[in-house]
Amino acid sequence: MDFTLGVEEEYQVIDPNTRELTSHEQKIVEIADEILEGQVKAEMHQAVVEVGTVICKDIREVRSQVTHLRKTISEVASGLGLRIAAAGTHPFSEWEKQLITVHPRYDEIVQELQDAARSNLIFGLHVHVGIEDREMAIHIYNSVRYFLPHIYALSTNSPFWEGRNTGFKSFRTKVFDKFPRTGIPDFFTGAGEYERYVNLLVQTKCIDNAKKIWWDVRVHPFYPTIEFRICDVPLTIDETVTITALIQALVAKLYILRRSNLNFIIYKRALINENKWRASRYGIDGKMIDFGKSIEVPTKELILELLEFVDDVVDELGSRDEINKIHKILNEGTGADRQLAVFEKTKSLNDVVDFILKETVAGI
């Protein structure tokens, strides 16, 4: 197995004078698309730009691609007098003032979801890992749900919302929770049960296709991938690449266990949700539940255990150097921790935005 990778990041479009989110009138997309050829697209809100890598054979290609995408979009935005920012929420811009992209798909979503859609001004990281076998993909999807809060804690990067310190390390998922078919998904016995579930939703007009299933992880309805959707978009290229490497290693480890007729324990959604809530509230500084031992354990310890769990696949994947950068996040804090440190020091959300802008293009 190659465990190919694809990474999508959603960026904020910022007016550097006001530090507010602003519409780019799709000009960034129009200009950048001439360079990136289909790797950039508009999103529902006009203050959002989404980029996606090509299919990458390894983590080195991911780093090259993510760097190229951030650099290109940053340069195009600067040419228009704008900036891009990578954070799960904007520190103070109000969703009520943001324009919606005119498009039949977005019109339909807003018509159905109303203010849940209009207020969904959030920015995420999506990571695809290639798995051709659908039954294997469903098995890994079932098992990997347990580890989603651990990965999420490392990505937390949205402590502010509409000018307030929310008290959460990631408020982004609290905003997204208003959508249907989100969060930690249920267990499925196999690909057949999953297809019956999707078909029922289509038949009863809940959805028109499976892309409107927005779970934290899903077997992609059209691509032969498992898609991880739980993460805030990280501040830096390093963090995006590091988290992607960890996700790839975890999928590879679970694949090898399955091929050896070994399974990771399947836990109930209700239990995993307890750890997700803690990750959202406390990031890497809280505790999670070790379900096997029925005790609380510091989140950082569980992340170190996760690194041990995947250690035997990392070298073959060629991602040792990237995986090791997890320790930097554990030592220096997540994007949320660093945003909060700037605010604690300056008491200025403008300074927080300036910090995000700087970190977004660090290393390009």
Q: Is the pLDDT of residue 12 over 90?
A: yes
Convert the pLDDT of each residue in 169-225 to its tens digit.
999 999 999 999 999 999 999 999 999 999 999 999 999 988 899 999 999 989 999
Q: Is the pLDDT of residue 57 over 80?
A: yes
pLDDT on residue 44: 87
Report how far residue 335's alpha carbon sits from residue 340's, in angstroms, rounded to the nearest whole number. 9
pLDDT on residue 106: 84
CATH of domain 5-360: 3.30.590.20
Q: Structure tokens of 303?
A: 């992340």
Q: Structure tokens of 139?
A: 């098995």
pLDDT on residue 42: 87
CB 52 within 8 A of CB 8: yes
pLDDT on residue 67: 98
Report how far residue 11's alpha carbon sits from residue 360's, in angstroms, rounded to the nearest whole number. 9
Largest CA distance in the chain: 58
Which SS3 state, helix, strand or coil, does residue 13 take?
strand
Strand-pairing partners, residue 129, are 5, 226
Residue 277: CB atoms within 10 A of its CB come to 16
DSSP 285: G
Report how far residue 217's alpha carbon sits from residue 240's, in angstroms, rounded to the nearest whole number. 17
Mean pLDDT of the 68-83 span: 98
**Which letter, b or e, does each residue of 14-51 get, where b requires 16 or more Cβ atoms within 10 Å of its Cβ?**
bbeeebbbbbbeeebbebbeeebeebbbbbbbbbbbbb
Domain ranges of the chain: 5-360
Which SS3 state, helix, strand or coil, does residue 119 take?
coil
Report how far residue 285's alpha carbon sits from residue 298's, in angstroms, rounded to the nearest whole number. 7
pLDDT on residue 105: 82
pLDDT on residue 333: 98
Looking at the chain, the whole-number percentage of residues with pLDDT higher than 70 is 100
Q: Is the pLDDT of residue 80 over 80?
A: yes
Q: Is the pLDDT of residue 1 over 80?
A: no
Report how far residue 336's alpha carbon sits from residue 168's, in angstroms, rounded to the nearest whole number. 9
Mean pLDDT estimate for the chain: 96
Q: Structure tokens of 192?
A: 């057949």
pLDDT on residue 231: 98
CB 317 within 8 A of CB 3: yes
pLDDT on residue 134: 95
Mean pLDDT of the 14-21 span: 97
In this prediction the pTM is 0.96
Q: Is the pLDDT of residue 2 over 90?
A: no
Q: Is the pLDDT of residue 281 over 80?
A: yes
Report how far residue 341's alpha carbon sits from residue 204's, in angstroms, rounded to the nearest whole number. 48
CB 128 within 8 A of CB 7: yes
Kindly tell me the burial class for residue 315, based on how many C-beta atoms sit within 10 Å of its own C-beta (0-12, 13-18, 19 or more): exposed
Convert the pLDDT of each residue in 243-269 to its tens digit.
999 999 999 999 999 999 988 889 999
Convert the pLDDT of each residue in 164-178 to its tens digit.
999 999 999 999 999
Convert the pLDDT of each residue in 329-341 to its tens digit.
999 999 999 999 9
pLDDT on residue 43: 86
pLDDT on residue 104: 83
